[in-house]
Homo-oligomer: A and B are copies of this chain.
Amino acid sequence: MKQRQKVAIIGTGMTAFGDLYEYEITDISNLAIFEALRSSKVSRKLIESLYVGNMGSNVFENQENLGNLISTYSGIKSPSFKIQAAEASGAVALRTAYKNILSESKDIVMVLGVEKMTETTKQPELQHALATGLDTMWETKMGATMGALFAIMAKSHMKKYGTTREQIAQVVVKNHNNGAKNPKAQFHNKLTIEKVMNSKPVATPLNLFDACAMSDGAASVILAAEDVAYSYDSDPIFIIDSKQGFAPIALHQRDSLTEFSGTKFAAEKLYKDHSISNKDISFAEVHDIFSISEIIAIESLGLVPVGEGGKATEEGVTSLDGEIPINTSGGLKARGAPLGATGIAQAIEVYEQFKGSAEKRQVKDINYAMSHSMGGSGGTSVVTLYGRGN
Contact = CB atoms under 8 A, between A and B. Distances in A.
Contacts of A129: 64
Interface stretch (A80-88, A154-162, A311-319): A80-88
Interface in A225-249: 244-246, 248-249
Interface stretch (A202-210, A321-329, A372-380): A372-380
Interface in A219-271: 244-246, 248-250, 253, 262
Contact of A136 (B1, B69, B85, B245): B69
A58 B246 CA distance: 21
Contact of A66 (B64, B71, B84, B137): B84
A64 B78 contact: no
Most chain B CB within 10 A, of A1, A129, A132, is at A132
A235 to B, nearest CB: 25
B62 A56 contact: no
A67 interface: yes
Interface stretch (A10-18, A98-106, A292-300): A98-106
Nearest to A102: B103
Give the size category of A's interface with B: 35 or more
B249 A68 contact: yes
Interface string A143-176: 0000000000000000000000000000000000
Given A58-B132, A96-B96, A249-B72, A380 B244 contact: no
Give the oligomeric copy count.
2
B246 A64 contact: no
A303 B244 CA distance: 40
Nearest to A382: B79
B375 A77 contact: no
Contacts of A132: 58, 62-65
Contacts of A135: 69, 72
B69 A64 contact: no
Contact of A131 (B26, B55, B62, B379): B62
A61 interface: yes
Contact of A246 (B3, B80, B88, B105): B80
Contacts of A306: none
A282 interface: no
A140 interface: yes
A376 B58 CA distance: 14
A366 B148 CA distance: 57
Contact of A78 (B79, B85, B88, B246): B246
A245 B329 CA distance: 37
Most chain B CB within 10 A, of A1, A246, A250, A380, is at A246
Contacts of A62: 128, 131-132, 136, 140
Given A24-B137, A68-B86, A99-B100, 4 more contacts: A64-B132, A68-B376, A68-B379, A77-B246
27 contacts: A1-B3, A3-B3, A3-B104, A61-B136, A62-B131, A62-B132, A62-B140, A64-B129, A64-B132, A64-B133, A65-B84, A65-B375, A65-B379, A67-B380, A68-B85, A68-B376, A69-B136, A69-B249, A72-B248, A72-B379, A78-B246, A79-B262, A81-B96, A81-B380, A99-B99, A99-B103, A99-B105
